[in-house]
Amino acid sequence: MCRYVVKKKVLGICAGARLVGKKPAIIMQNAGLLNSCNAIVTTAIQLELSILLIVYYAGDIGDRGFARVGTATVPVLEALGVRHYVLRNADEIDWTFKNAWILAEDSSRPVAVLLTKDVLGTRS
C-alpha cells in the first residue's frame, strides 16, 4: 500500500476519533506531512476538526539530512492555513502541547507542532 493511502486512512481514523469526542493526534515526519496535504485539507480543514499534527522537523537548521523537505515544511503549513510551532526546547514540551491543543479546539482546525532533533535528543 502506498504511503499516501496510509496517511489518508490515519487522518480518517483521527477524524472519526474527533467526531466521537476524542483528542486525536497523528505523528509523522515532515515528508509524510507533505504527502498528506490532500487528506489534511479534505478531512481536517474542510470538516473543521481539531487534530494535533506532531511532526518530526527533518531538515531543520543544523540537520544535515532532508534540507529541501525542511525548506518546504513551514511554507506548506502556512499555505494550508495550519498554525504551527517549532519546538526547540524540551522544557517547553508540556506547555506547547497543552496550548497547541487548546488552539486546535478553539479554532476547529488542525495545529502542527514541529519537533526538532534538540527536543528529541538526537542531535549529535
What integer pLDDT is reported at residue 1 of this predicted model? 38
**Rg of the chain's alpha carbons, rounded to an integer?**
14
Q: 539530512: which residue's cell?
A: 65
User: pTM for this structure?
Assistant: 0.88
What integer pLDDT is reported at residue 83 of this predicted model? 97
Element (H, E) at 10: helix 3-19
Give the domains, in start order, of the chain with CATH numbers. Answer: 3-120 (3.40.50.970)
What are the pLDDT digits (tens) for 80-114? 999 999 999 999 999 999 999 999 999 999 999 99
What are the pLDDT digits (tens) for 16-44? 888 899 999 999 999 999 999 999 999 99
The number of residues in the chain equals 124
- C-alpha 18/C-alpha 102 separation (Å) is 14
Burial grade of 18 (CB within 10 A; 0-12, 13-18, 19 or more): buried
The string of DSSP letters for 38-99 reads HHIIIIIITTT---EEEEE-TT-TT--S-HHHHHHHHHHHHHHT-EEEEE--GGGHHHHHHH
